[in-house]
Structure 1
Amino acid sequence: MSKEFKLSRSLYGHSKDIRSVACTSNNDIISGSRDRTAKFWKFIPLQNVYNEVMTYKTHENFVGSVLYLEPTTDFPDGLVVTGGYDKAIYVYRPGEPFPTFSLKGVHANTVCALSRGNSPNSFLSASWDHTAKYWDVSSTATKPTVTFSGHEASVWHVRQLGNNQVVTGSADKTIGVWTPQGQRVHVLKGHTDAVRCIEDFPELNRFYSVSNDATIRVWTYEGENLATYYGHNSFIYSIARCKALGDDSFVTSDEDRTVRIWKNGENVQIINLPALSVWCVTCLPNGDVVSGSSDGVVRIFTQDEGRVADEATLKRFEEESNAVKSQALKEIGGYKVSDLPGKEALFDPGRSAGQIKMIRENGGVMAYSWVEEGDTGHWEKIGDVMGGVENKEGEKKKYEGKEYDFVFSVDVEDGKPPLKLPFNKGDDPYVAAHAFLEKHFLPADYLEQVVDFILKNSNEQYVPKLTAEYQDPFTGSSRHTPSYGQNQGQTAALDPFTGANAYTTSKPSEAASNSLSSNSNSLNQGSRSSGFFPQTSYRSFDMGDPGVILNKLKEFNQKCGDGSQRVDDRQLEEMVKVANGLPSDPNAFDTLFKLLDWPDDIIFPVLDVVRLAVKHKKNNEVIVSMNNGIIVEKLKHYTNGCCKVTSNIIVSLRTLSNLCLHEPGELLVYNNRFELFENFTSLSELTKAGQVALATCLLNVTIMTGKQKDELGFSVLAQVLPDILSRLTDPEAQFRLYVAVGTLIKTAQLHGAAVKAKLNENSNFLSTMQSHSFSGQNELENKRMNCVKQLSALL
């Protein structure tokens, strides 16, 4: 490629993330956003500008996918198609703000992808309901003609190939290959995480897939995996063919904040963007590349000098991207991060047990150790590696009049500035650690932890032997990637809005009120010496009277239409017993799942049985395993902003919180955390009960993210938590989310600085904190104030 791509234009107009972009044969652009709108940007070639000529506002939730269908006899101006988190698809004539066709009730969950069919006026849709569909558009109606069903998790993308077969990419890590009539002929395995997007290369009889596993795979139409390309450091969200560059040229976008240009299997250019995520990318017929990102900006990049932005704009874009680029310039142990290998290096076996390898990953550096297993072995993640300085080569840092290779900042106590730990290469780490502990009057028990902290962050050659008993500096967590553990003996947080009164309009009993009073400080207990955070035990919703629930179930059981969903009273009585533990009737769970198909307006007592049941370990395991984990799909359905039944939202949020109490449910919630985040941000105008349930669920997911040392989770939560907190009005809910934010900072550890930076950039969050930093009118508001003060000290 003779020329590099440079910024051409930035299109401002959306207020939130751009989740999808599409183009027309005239180089126009359609964008879909989390601000619940799609926009049509008309290209004016003589002026090299894009005019926003239409905004489509029909969706009730995020617009997750957009598509343009080229003109036909029936539709001479073409069609704009949008799909959303409200499960709806709308088809517009480009110049009209209202849809020509409204397609509701066909998909049962978010419509996350749209693509063209091979026939005129046809398109395909992919959904979180585990299906894809083929649609035919006529002048009078639009209808699905084929449903592709068989995946065990969300279908993230769908594409019709040049040979008319249809391929689907799914969160179950597989690619389905289907006949046009909907019969699955192949299941392609190879990716180790969700398959996010697929692109067709018909001239080559190939298609390409991208995945959360940071790889690009090349497949023949017959299903053979020809090649795997590496280069990305994190989730790859989108791939688009770039015909102007050649038959085997394409672009990708990802979570590592880049757009990458590929030609003949080589990554020939990396474009850094000043955004958290680059959700989507497409290529225009004129060869330009379009991206949509989390900062709500559509950007166009070009090789054509006549369309390149002016110098001032290019300089401003470069300055905005410096925050991203600075990480690549950072040095750790004398090595430039940009010179370290990516995750592809982990495919090479280690030379000996205990060998340490540093890998560029998710914008930072991770340390891996080689673990031998007989004649084979694997690379095991040790943890984050963070340099103490960002100095130029050969430059030293001064501390108390002396020069050092490293001066680490160690955050030991809340509310106090970090302590400085100086160290020179070649020094004995035990001597340095002992001096640090002695100077700051810290316990001698910290010695081994401080030594390991120095070794990991300085990359010194003296490496202690790895053992299963190793604990990470200042956290106590294992060197192994944390596994899902049970939370034995935890103090459950009772909710002020649950209990025996859940199905009546009467006031809570005195006993319930006393229980709440004694438990309202539960987030403080167990951590009084160190403040409100970090929290390490999951919070649950325990109160509930199975007898009251049973009466409500019997009442609703009589309202089930023609009776096909009814069960007899004996079955109801056996089923409700799961609220207290493992039932004696093995059919009780089958009854429970049958009732989960009840209509939305009467299902909340069924969900409440699930809430109480999953608190028990064996029930948790059974409910999670039944029907391929369908319970989480039900809960996602009822925690979406489109859910109109308030009680379903509240009980579903409480159930998600209780699922975390045992390993099976914890794993299920963790694997669906990003889709849940999307749902949570779409919730609005919640009651006090709903706000407390939402805050508790987010606190639990924050604790879970810390246990997993989930780098991407830290980053997403740093955006989600403050955004949701700024919209809450209930003091208890606000308090719990402040605790979640503090826990996030404390458990992010070496990523804590990036988390703090993101929080400090959120003006709404800082303003909300400021308003809560004064004495309140009651004990609850004062508790919130004290939590805010501790959080302010952390920030």
Structure 2
Amino acid sequence: MATPYKLRCNLTGHEKDVRALVSSLFPEHGLISGSRDNTSCIWAENEGSNSFVKELTMRGHSNFVSSLCVMPPDDSYPQGLIITGSNDKTILAYSPGVPEPVFKLTGHTGNVCALASGKFGFLLSGSWDMTARVWLNQKCVMVLEGHQMAVWAVGIISGQGVMLTGSADKSIKAWKAGKCIQTYKGHEDCVRGLGVVSEAEFLSCSNDATIRRWAVTSGDCLAVYYGHTNYVYSLSILPNGQDFVTGAEDRTLRVWKDGKLSQTIYHPSESVWAVCALPNGDIASGASDGIIRVFTQDPKKYASDEVIAAHEASLASAPVASQPLGDIKVEDLPGPESLDQPGKKDGQTTMINTGGTVDVYQWDASQTKWVKIGNVVGSSGSTQSTSGKTLYEGKEYDYVFSVDIKEGAPPLKLPYNIAEDPWMAAQKFLHKHELSQLFLDQVANFILENTKGVTLGTGSASGYSDPFTGGDRYVPGRDDMDTSGATPAGSDPFTGGGRYVPGEESTGSGNTHFPIKTCLFFDTASPIEQILGKLKEFNKSVDDNLHVPEESLDELGSLLTGHPRGDSIKTLDQLITWPHEVVFPALDILRMAIKEHEVCRLFCSRPSVIDLMCQHASQGNNNACRMLSLRTLTNLFRHPEGTELNISRIDSVLQVAINGRDMTTKKGQIAVATLILNFCVKLAASDDLENKSKCLQAAGEVLGSNFDPEAVYRLLVGVGTLVGQDDGCKALAQSIDLPELIAKLNTSESGKLTECSKLVSSSFNS
């Protein structure tokens, strides 16, 4: 039998619940904690003793600290960073040894309750605002949206570039390149914690009192672990990479080895919020009494007999609710003499009738004895205790209220002790009776109103927000970039006047492919008379409500001169709403007309033009309609107003470009690639890492298609323009496997496509 864990030390210093724990890189073998007292602390091993010393208190949050992670060292921060998430909706970063944050990240609109770090400097955060966010170089580069409730847990499988999110909607999602690739379902309540076991498997824990093991790729649940009797808040993987520990609302930290419950460690406090496996094999817990407890398997590091005796005394005096233990009939319970018989396994519990009171004991295999872990309060079915408190379902309460929730229905019993946080008591009440979260404030305020004049305990209505509390609860709630250099009809932007010239912004590599500063436009067209002729033909066949007077059609030619006549703008506005089968001549006029600044400005004053172009470019429409819509969106980049409008709707525009992967014509494929290229060109000089990320993702999606070589070349030039001199973009590209995808394009054949792909590949490592 493996050596059991025993108490090593108690760490005191926080004034309220310890909500998060993580092992530190600096100091080595240290510990970092986050608390409801709005602070985080660094704990270092105290040389010459078995304990730890509080080395530093980090301040800066205005509300409780609910999540922690450590970022590995890099050139900017050689000792790494400590990252904290808070109910104040912000993320702070600290350099070890410095009490004030070095930077702050904002964007979430709810409690930041989960954090994880990954390769290349990526940070993943989860929030009660129902989203997760991906951060790089202090900027949000992706927002992961799809959960219906709070995102309680996050994890990163770095080798695959996969990000995991666990939610109060009972599901877990896997994301890659900002897109959901898998949803894992099986938990029956909120998912509270995630732990990555390997590239192929991960663990999750839940309010349903279970832990589950999942296969990353298939989504299969490989195992379910039972043992806890209440919410499981956190889990941590042990150093061997397979076994793990969990902490829960049932007062326990539990150790799981070889797929089985190996040890149960009771705590004097009800909530074991956080657990952390240290690199040396020790484990730590953070609890609702504000104490961090470290447990070890090394007999040399066991706490002194006095400390262990004090710990056991605090366990023995802890109240235990009878309800989770079942209905109790005191007279049927065994007496103290039964404790002479050894337990059958470590962690086994038994209830003893000690002169009419019920005590709970746990078998401690390491000491081969029964250890008292609490007193059962009351007995099931009683209504009054000897202390004068009210008994409800076998537990003493200061108050048992009758609450009318629904008209015509009987009132529900709401038990409450003044030591409880009103919002937590309200949340438990809602959970028990399966009531809507919309009642949370109503019930909590009912408690406050009916306990006026009483000093309530550890919680406060404004300061405690778990699990869905307070104002932040989960509530189902341009730049004038260079626009010069318009490409003359028929010219090649990669060899023409706007091309990259070594010496201007040269990397010294002789690279004549990228970066480029000039967008590419589609300016060549058939004679206007031919286009108008086709429009007049279609005008005779459309429905009466779409019909345009023929004299109005004759005015459309003025749009190409930059001096619109009559109602030509209004006429074209109407024409581009025609059905996709007949709209393409109007689109051809529009994409040429917006070459003129005044026409472009007028159409960009109608943001709905983007929605209309996206509709016409959508799958299912004919190729001419789709291709000309994409060309129109591309040509909008010629003027500042068009650039601004495109970037403001980048998600919608890039999505129709990605959907264009199914286009089979060369012209359509080149339109897709050129649109993405122009986004890359316009964003390259900006610090908008989030939108750069979207461009790289779009390029990656399209590069995986069987596209025309010229279209692939333009996509590569766009990627090269972004990653050539931007380390953030390089990291983003690596996270979505762009280097591997582009490497497949390298061939032994000569030509600009092969040359460009090799240059882009080499830029990832430069």
TM-score band, normalised by shorter chain: 0.3 to 0.5
Query: Which protein is bigger by CA-based radius of gyration?
Result: 2
Q: TM-score, normalised by structure 2?
A: 0.47
So what's the TM-score if we normalise by structure 1? 0.46
